Structure 1
């Protein structure tokens, strides 16, 4: 599949190994994993960072290679059950934060054509992603604007 805003082809991604159960060296209780996920979320970590921390640090010293194998639920599902998740999806929030930073940079550097193009591309990605999430994770009448993004990021922080 080609990349969205370039003429180059994308690189293929790696696949997770096909495993039905956690490895025998990672015998962590599902409840302990869920508690650790909620604890990390309350510390302000995103779902992707939570997965990395569980992989690297683990629960009680035992690494968790795959949260879904260990608990039967994804990290975001666990966060939704315990009301510890964010109001915005992580990918949309990261793109909005990038757009806000680019907009602030453009206010100081009006002649920066490369970042002007980067801002246009980022806002285009945000609009596409907002269409995808509209009606589910986002309100039906959600529209992206710079002011709206700043307000949402301040509320989410």
Structure 2
């Protein structure tokens, strides 16, 4: 599939091997994994960072290659069950932060046309994600503006 804002195609990569059950060498209890996920979330880590930390550090020294195989739930589902999830999804929050940085850069450097285009592309991605999350995660009346993004990330 082509990338959103260029004519090039995406780069292909390797897929994770399909598996129906966790490997034998990683026999961590599902409850301990969920406790560790909530603990990492309370420390301020995003769901993607939590997955990487569980893969690398593990729970009590035993790595967890795939949280969903080990517990039957995704990291975000575990966080939702324990009321430890953020108000905004991780991908939308990162795009909003990028749009704010670019807008502040454009205010300081109005002649920077390359970053003006990058700001337009980023705000386009934000609007598409807002449409995706509207009604489910976001309010039905939510509309992206620079001021609302700044207020949400404070």
TM range, smaller chain: over 0.9
Structure 2 unaligned blocks of 5 or more: none
Give the Cα–Cα distance (whole angstroms) in 2 for the partners of residues 77 and 141 of structure 1. Answer: 25
TM alignment of 1:19-98, pairs within 5 A? 19-98=19-98
| Match in the other structure for 1:109 | 109
Is 1:153 the counterpart of 2:153? The answer is: yes
How much does 1:151 deviate? Answer: 0.6
Q: How big is the alpha-carbon RMSD for the aligned residues of Structure 1 and Structure 2?
A: 0.7
| Count of matched residue pairs | 154
Cα shift readout 1:1-49 (whole Å, capped 9, x = no counterpart)? 0000001011124322211111011010000000000000000000000
Q: Distance in 2 between matches of 1:120 and 1:142?
A: 19
Structure 1 runs (4+) greater than 4 angstroms displaced: none
Deviates more, 1:5-14 or 1:55-64: 5-14
What TM-score, normalized by structure 1, do the two folds share?
0.96
Task: List alignment gaps of at least 5 residues for structure 1.
Answer: none
> Whole-Å Cα distance in 2 between the matches of residues 76 and 15 of structure 1?
22
The match for 2:132 is 132
Measured in 2, the distance between the counterparts of 1:26 and 1:150 equals 42
